[in-house]
Structure 1
Amino acid sequence: MNATVIAVALSLVSAAAYASAAVAQSRLAARTERNAGVLRLLGRRAWWSAVALNAGGALLHVAALKYGPLTLVQPLGALTLVAAVPLGARAAGRRVTRTEWRGTILTLLGLGALLMTAGGTAPHETLSLPEALAVGAGTMAVVAGLSRPGARPGLRHAAASGITSGVASALTQTLTVSVTDHTGPLFSWRLVVVALLVSAFAMSGLLLSQTAYRGGLGAPLAVVTLANPVAAAVIGLALLGERLQGGTASLFPALLGTVASVRGVILLSRAQAQTSAVAGPAGDEPKPGAGSPSRVVIASRRPMDQPMLWPELDRAPVGGP
């Protein structure tokens, strides 16, 4: 079987596993206090379910990197967002909206254009020890900058998660090619350092995405989806000798594919953000006056089947019987 076909098939299953993990992490984040630490997460079965799904997706991703280059495998990671749309809708008890379908179609069309320009040969280049250390140091500096206190921490943490995951994929490819192609000794300082960097970046990406999903699933997952292949492609093109098929002529369809994918991801993130803001736990339409939570609480008592909108007001004593 063609190596490209195997890489694409493995990437599709990997994307489905990652999408299931993202939905599980988002639901866990919605039920977890913002100041909860890592130890609190370790006691949740939902956390370990998400970890298992991420681990399964990672193993399939590693196998895909054996048969396909970074410029081919990483763009397919955007299908994680596409798969998360119906999974998230089903978990919320609602239907997929028209805007979400539009975003899905645009993302798929953009991915198709990008795959036409991606390299189709199995990878052979690997990172040297100085290159791996430089990539690791640069990634740590970027993540430290994105993790600083400030506005929009969720999106910045999502970008940091995507970058660390993309770098981990690039480093994983070095491990996979070195071990399976016997390009050097199985036990060397280079492979030990690369393995440690892969473990650190993979775990960092998982924890950063968990904090990013506290603000919802759509926008953070969209940022992760975009940042991951960009980081991996930069390493692949700059250090691993990967090239786009067709030379400079392939830049035009690649640009069109990028624009379509970005537009599709934006539509998906907006639709999911709007749905999270206006829909009830079962996907019901917003009731009249729901846009003004304080007016609802003050005008009447909260029914037993509605969520507590303003806890501090609900706890205040209310006159009357």
Structure 2
Amino acid sequence: MRTTLLAVLLSLASAAGYALAAVVQSRLAAVPGRARALLSRPLWWWAVGLNGAGALTHVAALHYGPLTLVQPLGALTLVAALPVGAYYERRRVTRAEWRGALWTLGGLVGLVAVVGPAAPGEALSLPEALAVVAVTAAGIAALVRRGGGGLGLATASGISSGVASALTQTVTASLARELPGGPMTWWQTALLAVLVSVFAMGGLLLSQAAFRGGLAAPLAVVNLANPAAAAAIGVALLGETFRAGPVGWLAAAAAGAVAARGVVLLTAGHPAPVPAPRAPEPDAHPVTP
């Protein structure tokens, strides 16, 4: 019980870090310019740092809780981003947005209530991890090629981050020597750590591109695709399931529908982000006395 509570608290801290990072990214995305220009902007590095903090607490949460518990709580990122984003946009959060937040929270509570944890140390084997990587890479490439605007990129971002979480669970279990088959060799663990970095950074860059269309809709899709991808891996390969058998699956489906309605309410009519302030540029033709 204590480990579950700790996993929930760490997940909430992770959601707060990701929410702050998303607000910063959405403001940067509203500023025209090339992607390489982000490297010279301090706000971008703040976003990277906040995402890093969110990732570290997320890794800690995965150590104490299963994917099917930790990942749905990540949707709270959207709820936390509401007041922060409204503050920077100098407006009030609308009643519709608060209703959406309540619907989302209700759905998340329902999902958490029926989650059944996997056995301790349960994680992907190396062949399973490499198979997931190959399938995910092909899916992300297809989404990027098809376009679909910000929502397509947001879907790819969420899937990439969800797979990074699943791989992270395997790396941490191997380092802690908690894998059922024993720890991996050093090069296998290093390979998975590199893949975690690739998918995590890919998710970050894809979300940055997706936020050009605004904050709410892309962030909502990211927060749906992320737990969906991680939960699919957890249920299909890690033996994670829901309590009460078929009734638990029905309850989870109903809770998911409630959370989805909340996301729709949060998305509808959300204004475009306010661009981050830019430093004044010097006059190209100064007037000399």
Match of 1:52 among 49, 53, 58: 49
1:176-195 CA-to-partner distances (Å, cap 9, x unmatched) read 11212443346433312211
1:124 alignment counterpart = 121
Q: Is the 8 A contact 1:66 1:123 kept in 2?
A: no
Match of 1:78 among 75, 78, 84: 75
Q: Is the 8 A contact 1:3 1:122 kept in 2?
A: no
Distance of 2:183 and 2:72 partners within structure 1: 31
Q: Is the 8 A contact 2:118 2:239 kept in 1?
A: no
Match of 2:218 among 217, 220, 229: 220
Q: How does 1:1-321 map to 2 (within 5 A)?
A: 2-33=2-33, 36-37=34-35, 39-120=36-117, 123-150=120-147, 152-183=148-179, 184-185=182-183, 187-272=185-270, 275-276=271-272
Q: Is the 8 A contact 2:11 2:58 kept in 1?
A: yes
TM-score (norm 1): 0.82
How many residue pairs match? The answer is: 273
- Structure 1 residue 40 displacement after superposition: 1.6
Structure with the bigger RCO (C-alpha within 8 Å, sep 6+) is 2
Distance of 2:119 and 2:53 partners within structure 1: 22
Distance of 2:269 and 2:168 partners within structure 1: 34
Give 1:212's aligned amino acid.
A
1:152-175 CA-to-partner distances (Å, cap 9, x unmatched) read 321100000000000000000111
Give 2:266's aligned amino acid.
L
Describe the SS at the equivalent of 1:125: coil
Describe the SS at the equivalent of 2:92: coil
Gap regions ≥5 residues in structure 1: 282-321
Describe the SS at the equivalent of 2:239: coil
Aligned in 2, Cα 1:127/1:186: closer, same or farther, shift over 3 Å? closer
Q: Is the 8 A contact 1:111 1:261 kept in 2?
A: yes
Distance of 1:116 and 1:248 partners within structure 2: 15
Distance of 1:149 and 1:257 partners within structure 2: 31
Gap regions ≥5 residues in structure 2: 276-289
- Structure 1 residue 121 displacement after superposition: 5.7
Q: Is the 8 A contact 1:21 1:53 kept in 2?
A: yes
Give 1:264's aligned amino acid.
G
The structure with more radius of gyration: 1
1:185-213 CA-to-partner distances (Å, cap 9, x unmatched) read 46433312211110100000000000000
State the identity %.
Answer: 59
Describe the SS at the equivalent of 1:238: helix
Distance of 2:243 and 2:52 partners within structure 1: 32
1:303 alignment counterpart = none
**Structure 1, 262-271 or 62-71: larger mean CA deviation:** 262-271
Q: Is the 8 A contact 2:151 2:210 kept in 1?
A: yes
Q: CA RMSD in A?
A: 1.7
Distance of 1:32 and 1:232 partners within structure 2: 33
Give 1:222's aligned amino acid.
A
Q: Is the 8 A contact 2:107 2:257 kept in 1?
A: yes
Describe the SS at the equivalent of 1:148: helix
